[in-house]
Structure 1
Amino acid sequence: MHRMLRESPPLAMEDVAEAERLEALNCFDVIDTPREEAFDRITRLIRNIFDVPVAIVSMIDGHRQWYKSYEGLENREVSRDETFCKYTLQDMTPLVVPDARDDIRFAQNPMVTAGPQVRFYAGVPLRTNKGHNIGTVCAIGFEPRAFTPRETAILCDLAALAMDELELRQLASVDPLTGALSRRAFKERAANAIALAQRHEHGLACIAFDLDHFKSINDGHGHATGDKVLAAVAAACRGQLRGTDIFGRLGGEEFALVLPHTDRAQMGGVAEKVREAIERVAVRNGETPVPVTSSFGMAALDARTADIEALLANADAALYEAKAAGRNRCVAWRSPNDAPGSPRRRVLKAGRILFNNRMSSIDCTVRTLGGDGAGLDVTSSIGVPGTFNLQIRSDAFDSCCRIASQTERHIEVEFC
Structure 2
Amino acid sequence: MGDVTTAAAMLRGGPDVWNDAAIGSLAPAAAAVHAARHTAEAEALAAQGLWEQAYTHLRAAVRLHHVAGSATTGPDELDRLRREHAEAREQSRRDSLTASYNRRYLDERLAALLSDLADLGDDTVRTDGICVALADIDHFKQVNDTYGHLLGDRVLQRMVVELDAALPEGAFCARYGGEEFALVLPGRDLAEAVRLCEAARERIARHPWHELHPDLTVTVSIGVAHSDGRPTGVERLIGAADAHLYTAKQSGRNAVAYRDGRTGRVRLAGGAGRRRSIPQPVRTTG
- TM-score bracket, shorter-length normalisation: 0.5 to 0.7
Distance 1:220 1:252, change over 3 A: same
Quick one: which amino acid aligns to residue 308 of structure 1?
V
Contact 1:206–1:299 (8 Å) recurs in 2 = yes
Going by fraction, where is helix more abundant, 1 or 2?
Answer: 2
Aligned partner of 1:225 in structure 2 is: 151
One-letter code of the match for 1:298? V
Q: Does the CA contact (< 8 Å) of 2:115 and 2:231 recur in 1?
A: no
Q: Contact 2:114–2:234 (CA<8 Å) still a contact in 1?
A: yes
* 8 A contact 1:233–1:281 mirrored in 2: no
Instruction: For residue 242 of structure 2, give the secondary structure of its aligned residue in structure 1.
Output: helix
Indicate whether 1:202 and 2:127 are aligned: yes
CA distance in 1, matches of 2:231, 2:253: 25
> What does residue 96 of structure 2 align with?
176
Instruction: Tell me by how many angstroms 1:176 deviates.
Output: 1.3
In structure 1, the residue corresponding to 2:135 is in which secondary structure?
Answer: strand
Deviations 1:241-300 (A, max 9, x none): 124112110111100011011011211111111111211222347652411100011111
Letter in 1 for 2:224: M
1:414 Cα shift?
Answer: 5.7
In structure 1, how many angstroms separate the alpha carbons of the residues matched to 2:248 and 2:231? 20
Secondary structure of residue in 2 paired with 1:207: strand
Shift in alpha-carbon separation, 1:246–1:195, aligned structure 2, 3 A: farther
How many Å apart are 1:188 and its aligned residue?
0.9
The 2-side partners of 1:326 and 1:305 are apart by 33
Counterpart contact for 1:207–1:315, Cα < 8 Å: yes
> Which residue is equivalent to 1:315?
241
Kept in 2: contact 1:212–1:293 (CA 8 A): yes
Structure 1's 286 and 306: CA in aligned 2 closer, same or farther, altered over 3 A? Answer: closer
Q: How does 1:28-43 map to 2 (within 5 A)?
A: none
- CA 1:269–1:173 in structure 2 vs 1: closer, same or farther (change >3 Å)? same
Whether the aligned pair in 2 keeps the contact of 1:210 and 1:253 (CA below 8 Å) is yes
Task: Give the structure with the higher percent strand.
Answer: 1
Q: What value does the CA root-mean-square deviation take over the aligned residues?
A: 2.5
Distance 1:330 1:286 in 2: 25
Match of 1:299 in 2: 225
Q: Does 1:324 align with 2:246?
A: no
Question: Once the 2 structures are TM-superposed, how far is the Cα of residue 202 of structure 1 from its aligned partner?
Answer: 3.0
Aligned residue runs from structure 1 range 214-363, under 5 A: 214-284=140-210, 287-302=213-228, 306-333=232-259, 338=264
Larger radius of gyration: 2
- List gaps (5 residues or longer) in structure 1: 1-170, 340-403, 406-411
> Deviations along 1:393-413, whole A, 9 cap, x unmatched?
xxxxxxxxxxx66xxxxxx65
2:221–2:248 contact (8 Å) kept in structure 1: yes
Equivalent residue, structure 2, for 1:107: none
Residues in 2 aligned to 1:281 and 1:327: alpha-carbon distance in whole angstroms: 17
SS at match of 1:328: coil
Instruction: Give the SS at the match of 2:127.
Output: coil
Q: Percent identity?
A: 34
SS in 1 for 2:155: helix
One-letter code aligned to 1:229:
V
In structure 2, relative to structure 1, the CA distance for the partners of 1:198 and 1:273 (3 Å cut) is farther
Q: Distance in 1 between matches of 2:234 and 2:202?
A: 26
Instruction: Kindly state the Cα deviation for residue 303 of structure 1 after the two structures are TM-superposed.
Output: 5.5
Q: Do the aligned residues in 2 keep the contact of 1:173 with 1:185 (CA within 8 Å)?
A: yes
1:305–1:214 distance in 2 versus 1, CA, 3 Å = farther
User: In structure 2, what is the Cα distance between the partners aligned to 1:198 and 1:274?
Assistant: 29
Give SS of 2:177's match: coil
Contact 2:100 2:173 in 1 (8 A): yes
Contact preservation (8 Å) 2:127, 2:228: no
Q: For structure 2, which runs of at least 5 residues remain unmatched after alignment?
A: 1-90, 266-278
SS of residue in 1 equivalent to 2:246: helix
Cα separation, 1, equivalents of 2:255 and 2:169: 25
Work out whether residues 127 and 229 of structure 2, in 8 Å CA contact, stay in contact via their aligned partners in 1. no
- State the Cα distance separating 1:308 from its structure 2 match: 2.0
Q: Distance in 1 between matches of 2:260 and 2:96?
A: 34
Aligned equivalents of 1:186 and 1:218: distance in 2?
Answer: 26
Query: TM-score scaled by structure 1?
Result: 0.39
Q: Distance in 1 between matches of 2:231 and 2:179?
A: 25
